[in-house]
Structure formats: structure tokens, C-alpha cells
Amino acid sequence: MSETALTGPVDWTSENAVGRRRSRHAANRRLQFYGIAAISTAIGLLGLLITTLVIGGYPAFLQTKITLDFPIKAEYVDAADPAAGNYRNVVRDALLQIAPEATTPPQQRMLGQLLTNNTQFFVRDAVVANPSVIGGTLTLTVPAADPIDQLNKGLIDRTLPENQRRVNDVQLGFYDRLVEAGQVSAPFNWALFFNSDSRFPELAGLAGAITGSFYALLICFLISFPVGIAAAIYLEEFAPRNRWTYLIEVNINNLAAVPSIVFGLLGLAVFIQLFGIPRSAPLAGGMVLALMTLPTMIIVTRNALKAVPPSIREGALGVGASKHQVIMHHVLPLSLPGILTGTIIGLAQALGETAPLLLVGMNAFITSPPGGFLEASTALPTQIFIWADSPERGFTSRTSAGILVLLGFLIVMNGIAIFLRQRLERRW
């Protein structure tokens, strides 16, 4: 206001002014540097994580297999009832072809340990499927046992003293003979995706876990999507702004921050003990995940609704639309991309959630995919947890592989979310 506040012409070139500008520029650069350093650290750590996982996990994507000729002698397998044959002897005979000198039971046992424990069942199933081979020879490729798998992948050091490695010298000899005969191969391990859990790492796969996760996520989506949207619409569009709605709002925000294991405890107490939903069922897991996802769903939906410009609502109200019509015809369709993106990200979060599933028992040992929502099952993260806990070497790489598969799903889901956001987002 007054003239005295002005000090006359400013000398922008004075030492003082130049110094001040220089320190301001330096501050800018510092801030930028901190940012870049932080991001580089984060990316570096992520890269390290992925590299470790890939190095640890890639062996699990290949499976050592051994191709053998199985003589299906009529004395062991009766053509009238092929399922009941003595396949243990069939396998033994097949193995004896590569090591005819193995006549003592200990030698034969070592020979048998080359192949997966379930070889006799593979042979049986093949014979049952094609009984015409009875009396002839069946050529079959079966998974090698875990130690041979490790050996073939170079994970067992042959130079170690015999008592320090899991493959003894006799077995090494057998193995070398098989390699020489070209009977050892290492194709892509489809079993990782099509088998369920097993006690034997060479047979264990993620099919059960993937199915279980799918069912649980479906339940989670079916509950949290409609409930979340309805709650968000009410809170955003209808609820009066008073102490009660404020309280509800604060609680929803707090709920989003509650440790997931608490939801697991709630699920155990309410869904399983009170409602009597079977333990380990994807239904129970999905309901717990829904509880956990619900606050996130409500928050993202509310934000998406808020992002619809008021001018659109006013325009609709101005031509006489009712509140219901404004929401259904304008606000909801316009916020759908945001809601969908949030939903996918919420589901991705739920997919990776482990603790609550452990509490409802989705970490059981289950060897076949669940046939429905009420059958016991595992889920991807709990399967990883189980494998991480298993002592066999083969499970170590499968743990990493399982994590890679989980990350793959998460990346795909987030990719879909980004795609949807880019495709459907509207600019005002």
C-alpha cells in the first residue's frame, strides 16, 4: 500500500543476488539427485530380486526325463485286468536292461532311485490306455527322480566325496550310461502347470494352487465388487455429511490398513467356526480376501466417482434427471474405467495375500485341483509357502518358479489395469 515498502531499483547482478540464485539452482539439482538416487535404488533392488528368482527358479521350468523301453510281459500284466498288473517288476526289468549286472536288492534299489517313485503308475496308466502293448514293449518317457534331475542340471557337484552328495558312485555310473545312450532329456516342465502338489518335487506342480487361487479370487470379486460399489455410491452420493458418515469413512480408511492376518483370524472365527464353511475351502479363503479387499474397493470407487466432474451431474440434474438417473446414466459409466482399474489392482493384491489364507487352512497338502468352492485347496502364495518349507532340493527351485508364476499373474493383471486405464480413460 505505502510507498516506503519499495526500495527503489533492484540490482539483479549484485553478488548477493547472484549467490542467492546459485544456491537456489543447487537446491533444485540436489532435489533431483535425491529423487534419481531413490528410484535407482528401488529399481536396482527389484532387478536383484527378479534376477535371483530367475536364477533360482529357471531349473524348475525344465524337467529331466528318462526314456526307457518297458517290456510288458504277460506274466506281470494280465490282459483281462491291466490295471492290476505287477508294474513294480515291469519297471525293474526295464531298468535291468541298462544295468544287467544289478542283481542284488541294494543295487536294484539304487537303480530304481533313478526314476521318479511313481514310474510304475505312469506305466500302468499307459498300459491301461493302450492294452495292445501287453506282451510287447512300451517306450515311455518318465520324470527322473529329484537327485538325478539336480545332477542333470549341474546342481550336484560330482567331484565331492561320495558321502557328501545325494547321488552315489553306482548311480552316477548308471546315469552316465543313460546319457551316453541318449535316453536323458530335459524338456519344458509342463507338469509345473498341469500337476498338483506332490511329495516328490519332480512331480509337484501348481495346477491345484492356480485353480484354488482362481476360485478364491472369483469369490472375492463376486463379493467385494458389488458390495464395494454399492457402499461407495451410498457414501459418495447419498449419505448426509454428518458425524456418523464421518465415523464410517474414517473406519473404512482404517480397515484398509488393518494387517491381513487379522482378517484371517476373523474368517477362522466367523466363516469356519460359526458358519461351518469347510476348512481350506476356496469359499472361506475368498470370503476372507473379500473382507480385506472391500475397503480398497470402496476407496477406489469413491475416488473414481469423485473424479467425475460436477458439471456432468449438474447438466443431468438441469434437464430433470433424478439422482438415480444421474448416477446410473452418467456418473457410474464415466467412473467405470477407474473402478475397474482399482478392482484389478485390489484383486492382484488379494492374489498375493498369504497370511489370511494360512489361517483358514489353505496351506494343506492337497494333490488334486479343487473341483468346487467347497473342496479343500491351496492357493498360489500358500503353495509357495509350503514349498519354501520343504527340505527337498527340488522344492527350492520350485519355490522360486512358483514366485515367478505368481509375479507373472500379477504383472498380467496390472498390465490389464494399465491397458484399461489408457483405453477407457476420458479427458475432460
Partner 1 sequence: MAQAALAPRDAAPAVFQTVRTPDLHPRPTKVKADTVKVFYGQKQALHGVTIDIPEKAVTAFIGPSGCGKSTFLRCLNRMNDTIDGCRVEGEILLDNRDIYDPSLDVVELRARVGMVFQKPNPFPKSIFENVAYGPRIHGLARSKAELEEIVVASLQKASLFNEVKDRLHEPGTGLSGGQQQRLCIARTIAVSPDVILMDEPCSALDPIATAKVEELIDELRKNFTIVIVTHSMQQAARVSQRTAFFHLGTLVEEGPTDHVFTNPSERRTQDYITGRFG
Nearer to partner 1, 207 or 239 (CB): 239
Note whether 330 binds partner 1 by CB under 8 A: yes
Q: Cα–Cα distance between 410 and 390 in angstroms, integer? A: 25
Note whether 322 binds partner 1 by CB under 8 A: yes
| Closest distance to partner 1 from the beta carbon of 232 (Å) | 18
Q: Cα–Cα distance between 360 and 266 in angstroms, integer? A: 9
C-alpha cell at 410: 500379477
Note whether 320 binds partner 1 by CB under 8 A: yes
| Closest distance to partner 1 from the beta carbon of 4 (Å) | 21
User: In this chain, which of 316, 332, 401, 406 binds partner 1, going by CB under 8 A?
Assistant: 316
| Closest distance to partner 1 from the beta carbon of 237 (Å) | 10
Using alpha carbons only, give the angle 341, 372, 273 rounded to the nearest 5 degrees: 90
Nearer to partner 1, 158 or 329 (CB): 329
Note whether 321 binds partner 1 by CB under 8 A: yes
Q: Candidates 6-14, 58-66, 267-275, 318-326: pick the segment binding partner 1 (CB under 8 A).
A: 318-326
Note whether 73 binds partner 1 by CB under 8 A: no
User: In this chain, which of 81, 162, 314, 389 binds partner 1, going by CB under 8 A?
Assistant: 314
In terms of Cα–Cα distance, which of 335, 321, 352 is closest to 424?
335
The residue length of the chain stands at: 428
C-alpha cell at 17: 543476488
| Closest distance to partner 1 from the beta carbon of 315 (Å) | 4
Note whether 317 binds partner 1 by CB under 8 A: yes
User: In this chain, which of 311, 412, 415, 422 binds partner 1, going by CB under 8 A?
Assistant: 311
Q: Cα–Cα distance between 114 and 118 in angstroms, integer? A: 11
User: In this chain, which of 108, 168, 325, 349 binds partner 1, going by CB under 8 A?
Assistant: 325
Note whether 309 binds partner 1 by CB under 8 A: yes
Q: Cα–Cα distance between 156 and 330 in angstroms, integer? A: 64
| Closest distance to partner 1 from the beta carbon of 236 (Å) | 13
CA 393 to chain centre: 21
Q: Could you give the residue ranges of the DSSP H alpha helices within 15-86?
A: 15-57
| Closest distance to partner 1 from the beta carbon of 328 (Å) | 11
User: In this chain, which of 334, 339, 340, 401 binds partner 1, going by CB under 8 A?
Assistant: 334
In terms of Cα–Cα distance, which of 170, 172, 82 is closest to 120?
82
Nearer to partner 1, 179 or 247 (CB): 247
Nearer to partner 1, 97 or 322 (CB): 322
Note whether 241 binds partner 1 by CB under 8 A: yes
C-alpha cell at 394: 527340488
Note whether 166 binds partner 1 by CB under 8 A: no
Q: Do 327 and 237 touch, CB atoms closer than 8 A?
A: yes
Q: Cα–Cα distance between 171 and 166 in angstroms, integer? A: 10
User: In this chain, which of 313, 388, 410, 421 binds partner 1, going by CB under 8 A?
Assistant: 313
Distances in whole angstroms, Cα of residue 291 to Cα of each of 10, 219, 227, 297, 336:
63, 11, 10, 10, 22
Place of cell 552328495: 165
CA 117 to chain centre: 28
Is the torsion defined by CA of 275, 278, 279, 282 positive or negative?
negative
Nearer to partner 1, 41 or 322 (CB): 322
Note whether 245 binds partner 1 by CB under 8 A: no
If you compute the radius of gyration of the chain from its CA atoms, what whole number of angstroms results?
32
Binding site for partner 1 (CB under 8 A): 240-241, 309, 311-322, 325, 329-330, 334, 426
